[in-house]
């Protein structure tokens, strides 16, 4: 008889059955009593998993049994995550060198390793389950990019790259780094990624879909719980060092948050179908805005950006 490990150290086999809200609760606990940068590093040491060890054979059988229209719907959702993981991997290195304290740099090196592992995890799923046979990760990403909307491309490709380049050129300019952490950790991870992960994993778990993927993607969410708490702590610490950084954060939220929320909102053409299936088309953007507000409160700020209007939950939801 197997014995469940504590969620902090649970293996992939256990995580595939773990409700995603249990993982996201780790973030909420971290926001109540922000851990030190060293403790976040120790959490990374305790929470290792291997993308190479995942057996996707059952997921492949489910994929092959799916009708083509359902496959298309899954490809659209999964492609944004694959592209996102690759983009955050490619742009994080300048942040490491620009961090003002050694404990910050040490933790951020673990995040860079995490992001690379997440990219490999998605590349394996695209190849071993969806049958996207390419010779290089770049070719798999080119396939995925066809399914990523323009708003997400602006945030994940254009904006992350542009801010990272400014940090690389002026690593001692803390304003660039503060803007970068706001975009990377608060907009991309705490707002967009967590909302999408929560919706996708809950649907997959309820319908027993892609069990191996669920285990890996829940581990991804657990990794990102550390990243998000780091970003919140870093920005709060930066404001306490110099309150002028609050204006940098506000400006970044004003610039990026409306586009990010729009990017994860449903395509209008898909809304009737989602409603007909008994789903809530706006559950992800609604959760994203709540998540953003919660993180900013801990940082010491409130949302000032004009965000898109999101409909309330459907009566039947």
The reported pLDDT for the residue numbered 316 is: 57
The reported pLDDT for the residue numbered 317 is: 46
CB 210 within 8 A of CB 204: yes
**For 182-227, what is each residue's pLDDT tens digit?**
999 999 999 999 999 999 999 999 999 999 999 999 999 999 999 9
Q: Taking the model in full, what pTM does it have? A: 0.94
Structural domains in the chain plus CATH codes: 17-44+58-299 (1.10.620.20)
Which parts of the chain register pLDDT below 70?
A: 1-4, 315-317
DSSP the chain: ---PPPGGG--HHHHTTS-HHHHHHHHHHHHHSPPPHHHHHHHHHH----GGG---HHHHHHHHHS-HHHHHHHHHHHHHHHHHHHHHHHHSHHHHHH-SSHHHHHHHHHHHHHHHHHHHHHHHHHHHTS----SSHHHHHHHHHTTS-HHHHIIIIIIHHHHHHHHHH-TT-HHHHHHHHIIIIIIIIIIIIHHHHHHHHHHHHHTT--HHHHHHHHHHHHHHHHHHHHHHHHHHHHHHH-THHHHHHHHHHHHHHHHHHHHTSPPGGGHHHHHHTT--TTHHHHHHHHHHHHHHHHHT----S-PPP-PPPPTT-
The reported pLDDT for the residue numbered 280 is: 86
**For 74-112, what is each residue's pLDDT tens digit?**
999 999 999 999 999 999 999 999 999 999 999 999 999
Write the CA distances from 313 to 250, 275, 278, 310, integer angstroms. Answer: 28, 11, 11, 9
The reported pLDDT for the residue numbered 4 is: 65
Number of C-beta neighbours around residue 173 at 10 A = 13
CA 259 to chain centre: 16
């Amino acid at each position: 008889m197997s014995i469940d490990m504590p969620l902090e150290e649970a293996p992939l086999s256990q995580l595939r059955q773990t409700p995603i809200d249990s993982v996201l609760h780790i973030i909420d606990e971290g926001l109540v009593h922000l851990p030190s940068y060293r403790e976040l590093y120790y959490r990374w040491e305790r929470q290792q998993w291997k993308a190479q060890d995942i057996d996707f054979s059952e997921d492949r059988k489910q994929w092959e049994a799916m009708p083509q229209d359902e496959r298309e719907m899954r490809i659209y959702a999964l492609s944004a995550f694959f592209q996102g993981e690759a983009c955050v991997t490619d742009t994080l290195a300048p942040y490491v060198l620009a961090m003002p304290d050694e404990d910050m740099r040490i933790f951020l090196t673990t995040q860079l390793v995490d992001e690379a592992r997440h990219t490999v995890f998605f590349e394996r799923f695209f190849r071993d389950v969806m049958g996207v046979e390419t010779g290089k990760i770049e070719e798999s990403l080119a396939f995925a990019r066809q399914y990523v909307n323009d708003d997400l491309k602006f945030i994940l490709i254009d904006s992350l790259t542009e801010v990272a380049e400014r940090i690389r050129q002026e690593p001692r300019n803390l304003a660039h780094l503060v803007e970068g952490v706001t975009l990377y950790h608060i907009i991309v991870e705490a707002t967009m990624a967590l909302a999408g992960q929560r919706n996708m994993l809950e649907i997959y778990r309820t319908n027993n879909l892609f069990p191996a993927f669920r285990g890996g993607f829940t581990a991804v969410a657990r990794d990102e719980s550390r990243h998000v708490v780091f970003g919140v702590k870093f920005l709060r610490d930066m404001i306490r060092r110099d309150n002028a950084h609050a204006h940098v954060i506000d400006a970044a939220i004003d610039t990026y948050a409306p586009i990010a929320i729009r990017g994860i909102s449903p395509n209008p053409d898909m809304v009737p179908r989602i409603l007909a299936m008994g789903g809530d088309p706006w559950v992800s953007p609604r959760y994203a805005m709540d998540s953003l507000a919660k993180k900013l409160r801990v940082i010491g700020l409130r949302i000032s950006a004009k965000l898109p209007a999101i409909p309330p939950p459907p009566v039947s939801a």
